Chain A
Amino acid sequence: MTSTSSRSSAIAYVSLFAALVAVFGLIPKIDLPLGVPITLQTLGVMLAGCMLGPKRALQALLLFLAAVAVGLPLLSGGRGGLGVFVAPSSGYLIGFPIGAVATGLLMAYLPVNSPRRAAISAFVASAIGGVITIHVCGVMGLVALANLSWTQAFWGTLVFVPGDLIKCVLCAVVVHSVARGLPDWRFGGRAFQ
């Protein structure tokens, strides 16, 4: 890495990953084999955690949420404004920064010293930190705001888990490519120490 101060790097990279989360919500029409569309937005969350580590990933997601709160149409599908924070799905939204931190923490401690190891660590970090954490938050939100029972919410959220695991694979693939294409990049926030 260059000797650019961590403050300038932080501003640039935090903004970049906030942008990636936004971007993944705006890519239209992702098809699973059954023709079921899913959005990639949580992939942005996972990548932020893996690439930036817990502290910077949190900043990126908070920046993203602040932009959405102010009204920018960056939530998947082009939604924005304070309304999305009281919708039944807002549990998932609050889960974004938490999931990013969890993913980042795991990635900071898992081995990343070869592209293959980094990819496997990325998969594990995004599955546990990303998928599980976000779904737990989502379920809590559904119970609180949609008056679902815990059982109903649990089974409901399970439907989306296979799609999210595919995103974990995508995250691992991206991490693998970055590890090979930019050999100097250090994952899990090690780049900013």
Chain B
Amino acid sequence: MTEGLRLGSFYSDHRTWLHAVSAPLKLLLLAVFGSALYVFSNAVVLLACTTLCLLLFASLGRATQPARKLLVMVVAAGLLITAFHAYLQQPLLGVVSALRLLSASLLGIALMLTTRSNDLLDVLENLLSPLNRFGVKSSALALQVALMLRFTEHFFIQWKRLDDAHRVRTGKPGGFKLLAPLTIRMLTSAQRVADALELRLPP
């Protein structure tokens, strides 16, 4: 079963070439390319980078379906940044920032669509293990990161369920009205998790 990271309900049924690439490699490439974006300030170079990222993203085909709305928001944010910097009489900086934003987002979303959260957590646990030497308990940190990702997935699943219920009862989507009940729901979930941890963690 090909299951994406499920952040933002980015569930992708359709297997792509990127699904087959290992999680540690993808995370490494993301880190390297993501940082490289900030090394270059030349607009032309960044435009080339962004084009490459777009091609990568487009090559995922139908798997990108769940993330289309998020991408629209990113593009809009990019335009906003360009306008903002133009208003401050720094148009080139605006273009550069917008291209960086777009590239970084495309890479990040591609990662989300094609990586299982369990695989990612394994990588993180390995990455964090050197911290043991400095007295930071990597397992506690890894646990919190794992919980954080689970809660993120859970939030979107819960949101969809409440939205469905709202649409059935009023005929309209829930929108921001659901923020409050969702928060309450997540708080009660966290309490249950706390209770479970109480029983299972060593004192």
Direct A–B contact present (CB less than 8 angstroms): yes
User: For the complex, what is the distance from the CA of A185 to the CA of B152, rounded to whole Å?
Assistant: 22
User: For the complex, what is the distance from the CA of A23 to the CA of B5, rounded to whole Å?
Assistant: 13
The verdict on A9 contacting B145 (CB below 8 Å), with A23-B152, A28-B69, A148-B90 known, is no
Stretch at the interface among A79-87, A98-106, A123-131, A133-141: A79-87
Number of interface residues of A (CB under 8 A): 64
Number of interface residues of B (CB under 8 A): 73
Are A12 and B7 in contact, CB atoms less than 8 angstroms apart? no
Q: How far is the CB of B75 from chain A (nearest CB, A)?
A: 9
Which residues of B in the span 5-57 have a Cβ within 8 Å of any Cβ on A? 7-8, 27, 30-31, 34-38
Of A20, A78, A177, the residue contacting B70 (CB under 8 A) is A78
Of B8, B143, B144, B201, the residue contacting A26 (CB under 8 A) is B8
The residues of A that contact B155 with a CB separation of less than 8 Å are 19-20, 23
The residues of A that contact B27 with a CB separation of less than 8 Å are 70-71
Cβ of A144 < 8 Å from any Cβ of B?
no
Are B8 and A8 in contact, CB atoms less than 8 angstroms apart? no
Of B7, B84, B183, B201, the residue contacting A177 (CB under 8 A) is B183
User: For the complex, what is the distance from the CA of A126 to the CA of B107, rounded to whole Å?
Assistant: 32
Q: How far is the CB of A69 from chain B (nearest CB, A)?
A: 10
Are A178 and B187 in contact, CB atoms less than 8 angstroms apart? yes
Cβ of A170 < 8 Å from any Cβ of B?
yes
Mark interface residues in B82-102 (1 if CB within 8 Å of A CB, else 0).
Answer: 001001111001000100110
Please, which residue of chain B has its CB at the minimum distance from the CB of A156? B88
Please, which residue of chain A has its CB at the minimum distance from the CB of B34? A81
Cβ of B120 < 8 Å from any Cβ of A?
yes
User: For the complex, what is the distance from the CA of A34 to the CA of B188, rounded to whole Å?
Assistant: 36
Q: How far is the CB of B170 from chain A (nearest CB, A)?
A: 18
Are B87 and A80 in contact, CB atoms less than 8 angstroms apart? no
Q: A11-B201, A67-B148, A173-B179 are in contact. List 4 more A-B contacts (CB 8 A).
A: A16-B148, A20-B155, A29-B73, A81-B104
The interface of chain B, by Cβ under 8 A from chain A, is 7-8, 27, 30-31, 34-38, 67, 69-74, 76-77, 80, 84, 87-90, 93, 97, 100-101, 104-109, 111-112, 120, 124, 127-128, 140-141, 143-145, 147-152, 155-156, 176, 179-181, 183-184, 186-191, 193-195, 197-198, 201, 203
Can you give 29 contacting A-B residue pairs, CB < 8 Å?
A12-B190, A13-B187, A14-B144, A15-B144, A15-B147, A15-B148, A16-B147, A18-B144, A20-B151, A20-B186, A22-B7, A27-B8, A28-B8, A28-B70, A30-B73, A36-B80, A39-B73, A71-B27, A72-B120, A73-B7, A73-B105, A73-B109, A77-B73, A83-B37, A176-B180, A178-B183, A182-B184, A182-B187, A182-B188
The interface of chain A, by Cβ under 8 A from chain B, is 2, 4-5, 7-9, 11-16, 18-20, 22-23, 26-30, 36-37, 39, 47, 51, 63-64, 66-67, 70-74, 76-84, 86-89, 146, 148, 152, 155-156, 159, 170, 173-174, 176-178, 181-182, 185
